[in-house]
Amino acid sequence: VFGLEYDLDLFNIVVVPDFNMGAMENKSLNVFQSRLVLASPEAATDGDYAAILGVIGHEYFHNWTGNRVTCRDWFR
């Protein structure tokens, strides 16, 4: 992304059954509520898969925008 390499040796994902935030990004660690990562092929709907894709993408993208790439100042 943006021609940059990931700057850490490891990227971790933790899935927690009762994580009340839904998901949270941290440097080198994303924490997710289990329903936003794990889906049962027998029961999941297209909406479930769309939510999973959106949340994982959103949290991972924080590694690039806001955490690594941001505006120089708030006046631009």
- Annotated catalytic residues are 59
Cα separation, 45 vs 9, in Å, equals: 35
Within 13 Å, how many C-alpha atoms sit on residue 76's CB side?
4
CA distances (Å), origin 45, targets 40, 48, 54, 76 = 9, 5, 14, 41
Question: Is-contact 48 37, C-beta < 8 A?
Answer: no
